[in-house]
Amino acid sequence: MTKDLRLAALYARQRAQGHASRAPAASILCGSRTNVPVPLRTECACARALHPTSPSGSARRAAEWGAFPRRAVDAGAPERWAPAQNQAAPCGVSGRCSRGGYMELPSGEEAARDEGEPEAKRRRLLCVEFASVASCDPAVARGFLAENNWEMERALNAYFEPSAEGSAVGSPAGPPVEPERWYSPDVVFLQEVIPPYFSYLKKRASSYEIITGHEEGYFTAIMLKKSRVKLKSQEIIPFPSTKMMRNLLCVHVSLSGHELCLMTSHLESTRGHAKERMNQLKLVLKKMQEVPESATVIFAGDTNLRDQEVTKCGGLPSNILDVWEFLEKPKHCQYTWDTQMNSNLGIPATCKLRFDRIFFRAAAEEGHIIPRSLDLLGLEKLDCGRFPSDHWGLLCNLDVIL
């Protein structure tokens, strides 16, 4: 039996300027094969440059979260994420679920497929269609579509159906709900967190337990939704020869009855430190192998890896998969560092690399988790004219097999 499980993996590195994120009151997904509400929804994020914006009733002005492996495409309105503000966790408790069945493809989607348009354009057309029906900002449309596996009917149901607070997102009774409705991550991975931002997160994301890899300089962190994820133990594994304060942060958790080991790291940066980066990768893979087989292991982070470096290390072990490769290398989310599309660094040369990666090792016992889809986000500039980060983000959906 398969449930349509949502395990969202967000990766973003947070630089000096940051804005905390709010988890949205997102809908429960319906199992496409069993029509059973999903009991789990996990979002891993490695946060990069989050620029402060003033939250308001307008989604366009809401805080934007990006630059890490989580869902988004190479073009079109990006997805946003912002920190929880005392709202109950909707998933598995009070979320919204579509009422079964699927509507016919909208005209925009049909046209895109008939003409052989790429996936990115098909999704842009869906965003336009959704925004037209819901009379909302295209960025909001994209958030709800991505949240609901790009199924128009399900996304519209999630937008218009009542929330836990009793009013619909598109209800004429009041302004649109803020971005906390868009995502409700159970787990968030962060890199390049600095102490002021960590303090801000502790205040704004009070519904999360935050475990950090350091307390000074800049460091990694893993955020666990208190109502959904139970922390069992934590461990910081040093990289003995790092020159950049890098390490491996591991937390062992229980989520909806499943044992997981969650790992994140920011591997050594720049081409000149390839040898150290490969040594760090070997240590990460070794630690993933050492986790008891009863647990699912997920590593999500900014690896700074070039493909040839993975090859030089002998590739991944047979029981560890690269989620992007496992999902047949979807082109729309291949590059998380793209200086042609992203102008934040002002680099004149064109560089397209897959720095941000998700490694996955399934549990040996029944009830394991299987990756289902992958997407990018953070592709829209903020009001200041800059992208949320110099990296795009990734969102990974997974199924739980019972």
> Which pLDDT belongs to residue 358?
94
Residues of the chain under the 50 pLDDT cut: 1-116, 162-181
| CA distance readout (Å), 249 to 222, 223, 262 | 8, 12, 8
383 in the same domain as 235: yes
The tens digit of pLDDT for each residue in 166-178 reads: 333 443 333 333 3
Residue 220: per-residue pLDDT: 95
**Helix (H) or strand (E) run with residue 365 in it:** none
Joined together, the tokens standing for residue 222 give 């893993």
Whether 4 and 32 have beta carbons less than 8 Å apart is answered as yes
**pLDDT digits 0-9 by tens, 282-314:** 999 999 999 999 999 999 999 999 999 999 999
Annotated active-site residue 302? The verdict is yes
Q: In terms of domains, do 295 and 211 share one?
A: yes
| Mean confidence (pLDDT) of the chain | 70
Indicate which residue of 74, 186, 302, 390 is catalytic.
Answer: 302
Domain that holds residue 264: 5-13+186-400
In a domain, 301, yes or no: yes
Long-range contacts of 166-172 (CB under 8 A, 24+ apart): 170/134, 170/135, 170/136
| 211 lies in the same domain as 258 | yes
Residue 117 confidence (pLDDT): 60
Do residues 244 and 345 both lie within one domain? Answer: yes
Contact, 291 vs 361, CB < 8 A? Answer: yes
150 and 242 part of one domain: no
Q: Are both 130 and 230 inside the same structural domain?
A: no
* Helix intervals (H) in 7-166: 107-114, 119-134, 138-147, 152-160
Instruction: Determine whether 261 is exposed, middle or buried from the number of CB atoms within 10 Å of its CB (0-12, 13-18, 19+).
Output: buried
- Residues 150 and 223 grouped into a single domain: no
Question: Both tokens of residue 100?
Answer: 């079964």
Are 128 and 273 in the same domain? no
The confidence score (pLDDT) of residue 159 equals 72
pLDDT at 361: 96
CATH of the domain at 348: 3.60.10.10
Q: 304 lies in a domain?
A: yes
Flag whether 36 is in a domain. Answer: no
Q: Are residues 133 and 201 in the same domain?
A: no
Domain end position, chosen among 108, 143, 160? 160
209 and 128 in a single domain? The answer is no
Question: Domain tally for the chain?
Answer: 2
Residues 155 and 194 in one domain: no
Beta bridge partners of 253: 231, 260
Residue 89 lies in a domain: no
User: Residues 6 or more apart from 147 whose CB is under 8 A from it?
Assistant: 26, 27, 155, 158, 182, 183
Nearest to 28 by CA among 42, 40, 43: 40
First vs last Cα of the chain: how many Å apart? 5
Same domain assignment for residues 278 and 192: yes
What is the per-residue pLDDT across 41-60, written as a single tens digit (0 to 9) for each? 333 333 333 333 222 322 22
Query: How high is the pLDDT of residue 183?
Result: 59
Q: Is residue 239 part of a domain?
A: yes
